[in-house]
Amino acid sequence: MEFSLNYNEYIFGILRLFINEASICKNIIKIKKEMEDYDILKYHIEQWRIIGLSHYIIHKSHIDKFSIIFNENDYIVKEDYDMTFFNNTGISYQIVELLHDLIKNSNDIIYNDKLYALLAKEIMARLKY
């Protein structure tokens, strides 16, 4: 019969080699989990502050600062006016906006997807060079 231990069960087994009281070992594992959960929460809050909040601020203030596509041959490409989001993620906030637009307006998604792919490629080319 084969069985595998989860991570906490494995840690419990190791602790039991050094501490002969199961309740103390369980308490150590509980404290370890609380510390890990706190660190994970801090990490996600920081990521929201760095990435989510910067996108939200840019989203609220990008009027007239956004690339536009009219058809396959006629479009205007503008560089990101605020590089915060790009510097933290490696992707233009405009591309995230294009994806949101595709999801929100999925009536002609195949045609728009091709057009948006052209625009996204041009935006990223300008940002990387």
Q: Indicate the burial class of 93 (C-beta count within 10 angstroms; 0-12, 13-18, 19 or more).
A: buried
52 and 16 housed in the same domain? yes
The tally of domains found in the chain comes to 2
pLDDT at residue number 42: 98
pLDDT at residue number 113: 81
pLDDT at residue number 26: 96
pLDDT at residue number 129: 54
Quote the domain boundaries for residue 51: 7-56
User: Which ranges in 62-108 belong to alpha helices (H)?
Assistant: 84-89, 93-104
For residue 68, the cross-strand partners are 76
Contact assessment for residue 80 and residue 92, using Cβ atoms and an 8 Å cutoff: yes
66 and 120 housed in the same domain? yes
42 and 80 housed in the same domain? no
Q: Is residue 1 part of a domain?
A: no
77 and 42 housed in the same domain? no
Alpha carbons 118 and 69: distance in angstroms, whole number? 9
Segments of the chain scoring below 50 in pLDDT: none
pLDDT at residue number 1: 57
* Local structure of residue 63 (DSSP, 8 states): T
Percent over 70 (pLDDT), the chain: 93
* Structure-block tokens of residue 104: 């929100």
